Amino acid sequence: MAKYAEPVERLMAQLGKLPGIGARTAERLVFHILKSDEVEALALADAIRDVKKLIRPCKICFNLTEKEICSICSDPRRDAGTICVVEQPKDLLALESTGAYQGVYHVLMGHVAPLEGTEAEDLTIEALGRRVKEGDVNEVILATNPNVAGDATALAVASVVAPLGAKVTRLARGLPTGGQIEYANTSILSDAINERREF
Amino acid sequence: MAKYAEPVERLMAQLGKLPGIGARTAERLVFHILKSDEVEALALADAIRDVKKLIRPCKICFNLTEKEICSICSDPRRDAGTICVVEQPKDLLALESTGAYQGVYHVLMGHVAPLEGTEAEDLTIEALGRRVKEGDVNEVILATNPNVAGDATALAVASVVAPLGAKVTRLARGLPTGGQIEYANTSILSDAINERREF
């Protein structure tokens, strides 16, 4: 099989290692990069380098940050006594977007998924335990995803945090606002009935 | 809307500019890069940089190369009197893989597609004309894709090359080897009938 010049083959191989990018897509991307403006392509290379060099987990909550301590943990207006536990930084971001939460976070960096090789020990649960033990923590809110892996993860977190005396809560389940009952599945409807509130 | 740290947002924006990569995929790729080994991520950044810095079009045929003149054009065993005209470097590669061709190439770097904003003047047809005028060229083989854009491109190339006295041929059309007649469409079958040969 004939080959492209070495740098072209190398970039194709590197891009092909990214998730969801096969050989054909990698080839298309390489030709896009070859055609594109040099400034643009080098900006992409620099952005990759900077993300690896500048971004690290916050020493307290494991959120992504450029500093030792992330902007939320170092904000004195946030309530450090309430910790919201999420699976991923993107969950934290989604919750922040609501503007409804004034506490701090703890990012687990994954969920319990034995089939994918992720056990509770691979998450940042131990560090959360230390935060609860050492700090003045009133409440730990479990905000893992409302699915099997998220529920298993919530259980693992609770089993560490509850014995330390912290109040453990989890996000409410029920009908998604904006949805329609006829399209809600049976798990959603059972949750909505079981967690019904006084009107 | 809450945001990630600046380097994360910047890489997401840069990846999102690539064709076929939307905001969600870009986010997934950034998290993959953040998780992956640093050596691996920097290898990707370097590969992008190298492709832009080291790869250029061959001065003669516009094939991708790291040198002034590509390895095919500079190979004395290749017949410089036969030029096979292709749309893209990947077409050249496909033809090279057959091992059936001993001549040289000319890469047009695209095809005539007025709706995409590519006219014949944007291709490397003028440079091909100079090659034919200045060199000892016996034959120009049109190897553009067997579709509307490819045929329009072949016409544009022929209109420049034929008046210069070169013999102009095009790749054969007919039944694809390995296929079945019942699955061939009418255009393929008409080509196969019109270009039938003595047995």
Are A7 and B38 an interchain contact pair (Cβ–Cβ within 8 Å)? no
Terminal-residue alpha carbon distance, chain A: 71
- Give ipTM to 2 decimals: 0.77
Report the pLDDT averaged over residues A156-179: 91
CA distance B128 to A107: 60
Fold of B6-54: Helicase, Ruva Protein; domain 3 (1.10.8)
Question: Rounded to two decimals, what is the model's pTM?
Answer: 0.76
Terminal-residue alpha carbon distance, chain B: 71
Q: What percent of chain B has pLDDT over 70?
A: 99
Are B3 and A93 an interchain contact pair (Cβ–Cβ within 8 Å)? yes
Same CATH topology for A6-54 and A76-198: the answer is no
Q: Is the pLDDT of residue B108 over 90?
A: yes
Average pLDDT in chain B: 92
Q: Is the pLDDT of residue B2 over 80?
A: no
> Closest approach of chain B CAs to the CA of A69, in angstroms?
12
Please name the amino acid found at residue A56. R
> Closest approach of chain A CAs to the CA of B36, in angstroms?
9
Give A55's contacts in chain B (Cβ within 8 Å): 5, 7-8, 34
Are B5 and A97 an interchain contact pair (Cβ–Cβ within 8 Å)? no
Output the pLDDT for position B1.
58
Highest mean pLDDT among A137-141, B3-7, B114-118: A137-141
> Closest approach of chain B CAs to the CA of A164, in angstroms?
31
Token digits of residue A33? 């990069």
C-beta separation of B55 from B66 below 8 A: yes
Q: How confident is the model at residue A1 (pLDDT cuts 50, 70, 90)?
A: low
Token digits of residue B113? 């597609």
What does the angle CA A88 – CA A93 – CA A95 come to, to the nearest 5 degrees?
100
Q: Helix, strand, coil proportions of chain A in percent (round to 5)?
A: 50, 15, 40
Report the pLDDT averaged over residues A99-127: 93
Highest mean pLDDT among A99-103, A159-163, B92-96, B179-183: A159-163
Give A8's contacts in chain B (Cβ within 8 Å): 51, 55, 64
Output the pLDDT for position B35.
86
DSSP B3-54: ---HHHHHHHHHHHTSTT--HHHHHHHHHHHHHS-HHHHHHHHHHHHHHHHH
Q: Does B69 touch chain A (CB under 8 A)?
A: no
| CATH numeric code, A76-198 | 3.40.1360.10
Residue predicted with more confidence, B12 or A196? B12
DSSP A15-30: HHTSTT--HHHHHHHH
Q: Does A23 touch chain B (CB under 8 A)?
A: no
Report the pLDDT averaged over residues A69-94: 94
Q: Is the pLDDT of residue B139 over 90?
A: yes
Name A92's Cβ contacts closer than 8 Å, sequence gap at least 6: A63, A84, A86, A105, A107, B2
CA dihedral A105, A107, A113, A119 (to 10 degrees): -110
Q: Does B15 touch chain A (CB under 8 A)?
A: yes
Q: Does A44 touch chain B (CB under 8 A)?
A: yes
Q: Pairing relation of β-strands B79-86 and B139-142?
A: parallel
Are A97 and B49 an interchain contact pair (Cβ–Cβ within 8 Å)? no
Are A6 and B66 an interchain contact pair (Cβ–Cβ within 8 Å)? yes
Q: How confident is the model at residue B8 (pLDDT cuts 50, 70, 90)?
A: very high
Report the pLDDT averaged over residues A118-144: 94
Are A20 and B17 an interchain contact pair (Cβ–Cβ within 8 Å)? no
Are A7 and B55 an interchain contact pair (Cβ–Cβ within 8 Å)? yes
Residue whose structure tokens are 């993107």: A90
Output the pLDDT for position A159.
95
Give B39's contacts in chain A (Cβ within 8 Å): none
CA dihedral B148, B153, B156, B160 (to 10 degrees): -150
Q: For B19-50, how does the pLDDT look when each residue is reduced to its tens digit (9 = 90+)?
A: 999 999 999 999 999 988 899 999 999 999 99
Window 175-194 of A: residues touching B by CB (8 A cutoff) are none
C-beta separation of A83 from A107 below 8 A: no
Domain range annotation of chain B? 6-54, 76-198
